[in-house]
């Protein structure tokens, strides 16, 4: 099974350890993983700002880089959702459509395609799970509190066999953190307030770490935590799942 590793641009540049954890974890799970060096960005920052028409170049570059893989896996629900919903190519629409079907967020790839329901690891901390909206409400990685439907969570399911990990229950289980792409600067006041409120919920549960499937949300929360000089740290779920080392 040949996997194309799709690493979000800001993860590549700011959080290489998340890329490394994802790469190593997939290898441990017997995947043949490759990182196409020409990849840049899925185009979401433009599209969500109303400039989807400017993303054709990104789309073409994405398709050029990820052609020929059985699956495309990415440690970000948000980037995956963008590709699933908006990747197009006028000249080779079938290829784009095929890619939209083959792109997966890391945890759903592990549970749904690899059919692995538990991963062993060691992470002896109190952890709060920040549920990122695009992964949850877009990709349906976990049940949404608004709906009258049974609970499930693909990421939480994977955390169950991590030794020592104490997953807390939040009072607002799936409230948005306020990152929202360019929203984080265009609506700075509300964005920061939303982030502060999310953090407070985790603080009330005395967590050591806030984890999640999207580094963009975690980057926003981390930025606020650091400004507050909080001892709480952020960590991507891939890093926890890869905690057993090689």
Partner 1 sequence: MSSKKIIEHSQAATHFNKDVERVNWHDETLWFVREKRDKSAHQIPDWELLRETASQIKNNVLSNIHDYLIEFEANAQKNGIIVHWAADAKQHNEIVHSIMAKHDVKQMVKSKSMLTEECHLNDYLAEKGIEVIDSDLGEYIVQLRKEPPSHIVLPAIHLKKEDVSETFHEHLGTEKGNIDPQYLTESARLSLRNTFLTRKVALTGVNFAIAETGEIVVCTNEGNADMGAHLADVHIASMGFEKLIPERKHLGVFLRLLARSATGQPITTFSSHFKKPRDGKEIHIVIVDNGRSTQLGREDFRNSLKCIRCGACMNTCPVYRRSGGHSYHNAVAGPIGSILAPNLDMSKNADLPFASTLCGSCTNVCPVKIDIHDQLYKWRQVLVKEGHTPTSKTIAMNTMAKVLANPTIFNIAGKSGRFVMKNIPGLVNNKMNKWYDQREMPDVPEESFREWYKKNSREAKAKDNE
Q: Quote the CA–CA distance of 162 and 122 in Å, as a whole number.
A: 5
Residue (of 135, 211, 132, 136) closest to 168 by Cα position: 211
Q: How far is the CB of 160 from partner 1 (least distance, A)?
A: 25
Cβ burial of 192 (10 Å; 0-12, 13-18, 19+) is middle
Q: How far is the CB of 166 from partner 1 (least distance, A)?
A: 26
Residue (of 54, 49, 72, 51) closest to 62 by Cα position: 72
Q: Which is nearer to partner 1, 176 or 210 (CB)?
A: 176
Q: Which is nearer to partner 1, 126 or 223 (CB)?
A: 223
Q: How far is the CB of 214 from partner 1 (least distance, A)?
A: 12
Q: How far is the CB of 80 from partner 1 (least distance, A)?
A: 15
Q: How far is the CB of 146 from partner 1 (least distance, A)?
A: 4
Q: Quote the CA–CA distance of 232 and 96 in Å, as a whole number.
A: 41
Q: Which is nearer to partner 1, 40 or 204 (CB)?
A: 40
Residue (of 51, 62, 66, 49) closest to 88 by Cα position: 62
Residue (of 85, 77, 73) closest to 114 by Cα position: 73
Q: Which is nearer to partner 1, 13 or 118 (CB)?
A: 13
Q: Which is nearer to partner 1, 33 or 210 (CB)?
A: 33
């Amino acid at each position: 099974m040949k996997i194309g590793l799709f690493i979000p641009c800001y993860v590549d540049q700011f959080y290489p350890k998340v890329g490394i954890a994802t790469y190593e974890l997939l290898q441990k799970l017997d995947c043949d993983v490759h990182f196409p060096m020409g990849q840049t960005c899925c185009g979401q920052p433009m599209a969500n700002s109303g400039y989807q028409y400017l993303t054709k170049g990104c789309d073409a570059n994405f398709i050029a880089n990820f052609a020929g893989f059985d699956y495309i896996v990415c440690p970000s629900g948000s980037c995956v959702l963008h590709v699933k919903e908006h990747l197009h190519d006028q000249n080779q629409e079938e290829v784009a459509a095929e890619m939209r079907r083959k792109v997966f967020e890391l945890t759903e790839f592990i549970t749904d395609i690899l059919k692995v329901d538990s991963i062993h690891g060691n992470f002896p901390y109190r952890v709060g799970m920040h549920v990122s909206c695009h992964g949850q409400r877009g990709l349906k990685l976990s049940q949404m509190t608004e709906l009258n439907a049974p609970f499930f969570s693909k990421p939480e399911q994977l955390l169950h066999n991590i030794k020592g990990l104490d997953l807390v229950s939040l009072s607002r289980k799936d409230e948005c953190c306020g990152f929202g792409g360019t929203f984080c600067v265009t609506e700075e006041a509300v964005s920061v307030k939303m982030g502060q409120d999310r953090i407070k919920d985790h603080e009330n549960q005395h967590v050591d770490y806030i984890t999640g499937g999207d580094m963009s949300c975690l980057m926003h929360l981390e930025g606020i935590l650091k400004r507050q000089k909080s001892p709480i740290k952020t960590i991507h779920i891939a890093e926890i799942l890869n905690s057993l080392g090689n």
